[in-house]
Amino acid sequence: MTVSFPADFLWGGATAACQIEGAYNEGGKGLSIQDVMPNGIKTPPTPEPTEDNLTLKGIDFYRTYADDIALFAEMGFKVFRISIAWSRIFPNGDDAEPNEEGLAFYDKVLDELEKHGIEPLVTLSHYETPLNLARNYGGWRSRELIGFFEKYARTVMERYKGRVKYWLTFNEINAIQHEPFMAGAIESPRDELSEQELYQAIHHEMVASGLATKVAHEIDPDNQVGCMVIASPRYGLTPDPADQRKAQYESQIDYAFGDLHVFGEYPHTLKRYFREHDITLEITDADREALSHTVDFVSFSYYNSVCETADP
């Protein structure tokens, strides 16, 4: 049997600004949470940047983007998923005006992609919230970040109107359940964070995602906005019904993030979780309106499957 793909099927690859750009303190860029994570999620963040994390030896997309994109094109790829570094556009996250030098850098990146006929797929927030928003606002625990994110989204979407059609709001948004600093700019360790605090922060991110989707469609009706989740298929460790129920339950919590993006309201699985854990979210009418702006497509990362058991 022969399997064929449509002529316009987009084969491509993906990166994130914090993985490839380097130049953490150049071009007016501010610090992001990644700049104080020298060992990733393996150790707590450091008070200040450390050189071993920030030099990113051998990685310098900030200067080599033209050559890198040319090599990417040689592979025959037709779509390149990249992220914009939020702190390259708004160095502190709460700045009054955007950093023009940062905006101009991504203009040049898009120039190269267009030269090679490569479609950009742009992520707005890929694990690199401006550090100032973590240190002085408490990350996504603060409702104020919704407005900062909406302003950032509007700034880049207006700037790159007609040049970027495909957008993702947050990378692997459900990762905040396990890594609150990396995915939510929340410095409190996970075991010190209450379920109430965690899910209120998640709510703020979801509202911000809905507002960014609304903004994208207002700026250009041709824009396509997606959500991005970690998708790890879960299986019961044994045939025991308790293990099977555990796998089903954990899957439902995982995929609730996609449900919320697609349907625009909290699914019954999360509502049940809130009841069971005595969680009462602050949800305004404006929040509900923002959540009603649903996505155009779903994307996911698949790393591995997981076995679940109810046996402690």
Residues 6+ apart with CB under 8 A from 113: 69, 80, 119, 120
Quickly state the pLDDT bin for 8 (edges 50, 70, 90): confident
Residues 6+ apart with CB under 8 A from 253: 177, 269, 270, 273
Q: How far is 251 from 248, CA to CA, in rounded Å? A: 5
Quick one: how far is CA 287 from the chain centroid?
A: 19
Amino acid identity, residue 21? E
3 state SS of 178: coil
Report percent pLDDT > 90 for the chain. 86
Tens digit of each residue's pLDDT (9 = 90 or more) over 172-192: 999 999 999 999 999 998 999
pTM value?
0.95
DSSP string, 56-108: -TT--HHHHHHHHHHHHHHTT--EEEEE--HHHHSTTSS-SS--HHHHHHHHH
The yes-or-no verdict on residue 267 having pLDDT over 90 is yes
The first and second tokens of residue 25, run together, are: 């303190």
Strands 166-170 and 297-301: unpaired
Give me the mean pLDDT over the 279-300 stretch: 97
Quickly state the pLDDT bin for 55 (edges 50, 70, 90): low
Q: How far is 189 from 41, CA to CA, in rounded Å? A: 11
Task: Write down the pLDDT at residue 290.
Answer: 98
Neighbours of 25 (CB within 10 A): 11
The first and second tokens of residue 103, run together, are: 């905006």
Task: Write down the pLDDT at residue 2.
Answer: 87
Give me the mean pLDDT over the 203-216 stretch: 98
Give me the mean pLDDT over the 248-259 stretch: 91
Task: Write down the pLDDT at residue 59.
Answer: 80
Report percent pLDDT > 70 for the chain. 98
Distances (CA, A) of 139 to 174, 200, 237: 16, 11, 36
The yes-or-no verdict on residue 54 having pLDDT over 80 is no
Tens digit of each residue's pLDDT (9 = 90 or more) over 117-151: 999 999 999 999 999 999 999 999 999 999 999 99
Q: Which of 18, 29, 87 is nearest to 56 (CA)?
A: 18
Chain mean pLDDT for the chain: 95
Give me the mean pLDDT over the 79-108 stretch: 98
Task: Write down the pLDDT at residue 1.
Answer: 84
β strands within the chain, DSSP E: 12-14, 79-83, 119-125, 166-170, 224-230, 234-236, 297-301, 306-308
